[in-house]
Structure 1
């Protein structure tokens, strides 16, 4: 018995010693981790020169910070919108820093256009490049103008530039008007004096998709085309719609999840595979047609055909391969479909809220067109108030909300001092530090806009259509190549819609105009609801 008790005592001693050892190890590891975080945090503060800004656990654009909701301790990915009216005032400047003390790199956020030009490289040498991870979402279909950098970008720009010309804009104008009339007929508006549209994006998304399909891809789609062919296979139009709607899922869902046997995932895979096969066939077909016609014969005016032609006209060493051609065409889809559709919806919402502005725009439309004549492309500049209404909606709901650049060498930024203080402050930027241009912050920066929270299309009256004063299409040599495509589509569509209909909000019972605005224009509510009343 005594020996058994001795054995148990020895065992307890061993266990107690082991437990104590584990505790020592855990304590040591915790201390080491804490010290390493403190050291890393001090280095991050040094990297941003202790410029005031976010001192938070996680980097807003990385995991896990981007996946968590926006709170006082975690800005997350949407802080630029949620805090657009307050954050730069809080820190006393339109350039702030971020230094996460748990996970993520140090960096800068800026709502200043001077800094945007310094990092974008507009007209001068720059020490900044676009980090690869910032372009991941647009690489699914192939290298393209938006994701490329350096000499690769210049080569893509060399091919893409000629595709965006007057012939393309004439096609956009014509097809926008045709698609508008298709919509009116298919939705049976012609015989109604008042039309209720509970979710206007269902119309604007379809309209923008069809115009991109017709003018970007050269497809002969119609408003009433069915999603499935007679044999049950998915049509190209439906495949294009599914790919446009679910692009981000295709980017960020792991492959093993995408391959699970669920109906929606199967549908996305079918759309992706069909569209990729179809696009490769289209490149080959268009290349053959262009070679058969020769240099003197007219080719189709859609961007896809012109892109293939521009590629064929180049010497061999500058030509893009088929995947790169397809990648550039799909950039048109993802850059021009959803953003244009949302901006149409926002423009109509603001015009519905501000009847005086809508009346002013209508008077210009009526003075140019009368009651029933369609506009011509030559009248684009005469309808400048229509464009200004679109511009101001895009300013308040900018399509691209960040421009990310990373220093590839130790460099400096010349940071303009706060409003009211002259001169600049030189800011050291170590190699590897990111500078994020907050495009929402730019559009709401009182340095550039009086009463930036108010919808005031008049701020754009007299501003050249190509001016960088309007920066929502980005700035510098890498500004959106599709800007004229989008504005041509906008002026054509909004002119005929406002010629024919007055736009008014649909209020819920007891709802005020201010409550409707808070509910509908929150950037979180996707069912903009209003009515169209016949203007004549």
Structure 2
């Protein structure tokens, strides 16, 4: 009996191997027919067993001769971050395929090709199967394509308007002030070394999206009071309940359920809910519990909003959930219920409204939080750029108190000067996602692209990666200078002969000084790649304008991120609050005590600070990864927040 089972398993394994071999041969022939360069992989880097086993096997694999082979490097799902532009340099091509038994993947860092693909959304749609995990509460504008996507977009785009952006501005200012107070504690001149900047930026962004997205007002715990959630368990908008409080049939509070869900999203991406319910593993159980609990809170928020609209309490423009409900045909006006206008409106179901609300939360929360965090780290590593930003903020705000900072007056000034340049450069180096997925559908016609004045045809069932991390570093489309330190390049193999791997926000300024003043900043012009004016553009027209397709932190074309203006407003407001009155410096406790730093001269301090900055660079290279967005994992960088004029390393450079 045992031998029969053994033979059956061997036969199954042999069948699987032969089938993969046949599929690989078929895909190699398809890749060869395109005429493009290609690399053959033994299996896809998205192969589920490989994703599970690779971290376990990595220490042993790194000792093998194959570790430097290009095909082996491409087997990492994080290859766009690890390699950046180096893969394209090795192939001497900005477009190539990698071939696996399951699929062929077309990868591009070519601005002209990216422009073609994003303009032709019908020819190159999203592979919706990749986004199935985002439908845990319902279909949404991110997970759908074709007419279904148009149906969602018509309803979900109106919430992204200037009224909501104004609310985002004021809430971001309020939350950023609270975050800085929490960092400083009882200190007046300098904080202790802080290792929670990434977590606090996530908290700030969570508070902003909760307010602007759901009408839930959360206060910062460091203010001396418990965090408050406005109406999360009651239909009365005036009622306030503790966000840490467990109400009714809840086992997790609003904040705890949401934070747990975001922290455990990986399990939701991997396992179906019907299976997660029964699996005995603690991490999966936590993930499932948070999914159930946040679903209850989301349903309560939705039901409360419906009640508010029905009774006329809700004010249009006050939050995204309210707009979704109104856009889906919910109204307090009985004359509209059966009107012709109501019947012709694009209507979303309850689950679709909640699905879109969840996606707003997930995407808006992480994208903005990461940009604030990485901008702070980059500015701490580059004191001259930080000083330049602060001088720009002084010109924009002068001595006006924060209560007088105005969205209409001040946001465009920030977006068009050094603050906008800092955000643009941070997003160039660390875009929200390393590659934007597209495809030629399996049942579609072959699609032709023009590459260097020649036509190449991609067959059906080809997956496409618009590799933003590489496109943002392509020296063919970006002006570049010499590297700052040729002996210690930021990346060991990518762009070692130029400065495109370095953080230099000054590259975005159009003149050699500060860029446009707030008073003369060029008005931001909305372009055809942003049909909804509230979404704006990827960067200000007053700054350097890269070619279309060269800069895609929020994608381009009609599938560009609806919430990019939301994120830009939040990030720039937070940076303005932090750096108007404070500076951020790296912690140096690893190398010297405070007393030793005090005794150092300028050269010794510069050398010490350079070591700390190189440590952060190494951590970012080794610890950065992709879950839903790009973020550092398993490490925290220590920084100090000091009042301007009290910096210890004012003259420090890398």
Smaller-chain TM-score bracket: 0.7 to 0.9
**Inter-CA distance 38–221: structure 2 relative to 1 (3 Å threshold):** closer
Map of 2:94 onto structure 1:
94
Map of 2:412 onto structure 1:
381
Map of 2:509 onto structure 1:
461
**Inter-CA distance 410–298: structure 2 relative to 1 (3 Å threshold):** closer
CA distance in structure 2 between the partners assigned to 1:394 and 1:31 by the alignment = 42
Does the 8 Å CA contact 2:126/2:438 hold for their aligned counterparts? yes
The count of corresponding residues between Structure 1 and Structure 2 is: 504
CA distance in structure 1 between the partners assigned to 2:397 and 2:109 by the alignment = 40
Map of 2:310 onto structure 1:
291
CA RMSD of aligned residues (A): 3.2
1:210 aligns with 2:207: yes
CA distance in structure 1 between the partners assigned to 2:111 and 2:50 by the alignment = 26
Does the 8 Å CA contact 2:103/2:461 hold for their aligned counterparts? no
Q: What are the residue-to-residue correspondences of 1:337-486 with 2, within 5 Å?
A: 337-370=365-398, 373-374=401-402, 375-377=405-407, 378-383=409-414, 384-408=417-441, 409-417=444-452, 424-449=453-478, 450=480, 451-461=499-509, 464=524, 466-467=537-538, 469=546, 470-486=551-567
**Inter-CA distance 513–237: structure 2 relative to 1 (3 Å threshold):** closer
1:55 aligns with 2:11: no
**Inter-CA distance 33–208: structure 2 relative to 1 (3 Å threshold):** closer
CA distance in structure 1 between the partners assigned to 2:393 and 2:348 by the alignment = 43
- CA apart distance, 1:262: 5.5
- CA apart distance, 1:205: 1.1
Alignment partner for residue 320 of structure 1, among 341, 348, 364? 348
CA distance in structure 2 between the partners assigned to 1:176 and 1:252 by the alignment = 33
Map of 1:181 onto structure 2:
177
**Inter-CA distance 389–264: structure 2 relative to 1 (3 Å threshold):** same
CA distance in structure 1 between the partners assigned to 2:286 and 2:98 by the alignment = 41
**Inter-CA distance 34–520: structure 2 relative to 1 (3 Å threshold):** closer
1:198 aligns with 2:217: no
SS at match of 1:44: helix
**Inter-CA distance 534–37: structure 2 relative to 1 (3 Å threshold):** same
- CA apart distance, 1:527: 0.9
Does the 8 Å CA contact 1:410/1:429 hold for their aligned counterparts? no
Map of 2:269 onto structure 1:
251
Map of 1:10 onto structure 2:
none
SS at match of 1:82: helix
CA distance in structure 2 between the partners assigned to 1:215 and 1:42 by the alignment = 49
Any stretches of 5+ residues in structure 1 without a counterpart? 1-14, 418-423
1:242 aligns with 2:275: no
- CA apart distance, 1:514: 4.8
- Name the TM-score, length of structure 1 as normaliser: 0.85
Map of 1:118 onto structure 2:
116
Does the 8 Å CA contact 2:137/2:354 hold for their aligned counterparts? yes
CA deviation vs aligned residue, 1:163-183 (integer Å, no higher than 9, x gap) = 111110111111111112333
Map of 2:543 onto structure 1:
none
CA deviation vs aligned residue, 1:477-518 (integer Å, no higher than 9, x gap) = 111111110010111111011012111111321761452232
Any stretches of 5+ residues in structure 2 without a counterpart? 59-66, 222-226, 228-241, 331-340, 481-498, 511-521, 525-535, 540-545, 593-607, 625-631, 646-654
- CA apart distance, 1:265: 4.2
Does the 8 Å CA contact 2:125/2:145 hold for their aligned counterparts? yes
CA distance in structure 1 between the partners assigned to 2:127 and 2:349 by the alignment = 23
Map of 2:233 onto structure 1:
none
Alignment partner for residue 578 of structure 2, among 476, 483, 497? 497
Q: What are the residue-to-residue correspondences of 1:304-319 with 2, within 5 Å?
A: 304-312=321-329, 315-316=342-343, 318-319=346-347
CA distance in structure 1 between the partners assigned to 2:21 and 2:254 by the alignment = 57
- CA apart distance, 1:460: 2.8
Map of 1:43 onto structure 2:
29
Greater radius of gyration (CA):
1
Does the 8 Å CA contact 1:415/1:426 hold for their aligned counterparts? yes
Does the 8 Å CA contact 1:250/1:258 hold for their aligned counterparts? no
**Inter-CA distance 142–354: structure 2 relative to 1 (3 Å threshold):** same
SS at match of 2:158: helix
**Inter-CA distance 287–410: structure 2 relative to 1 (3 Å threshold):** same
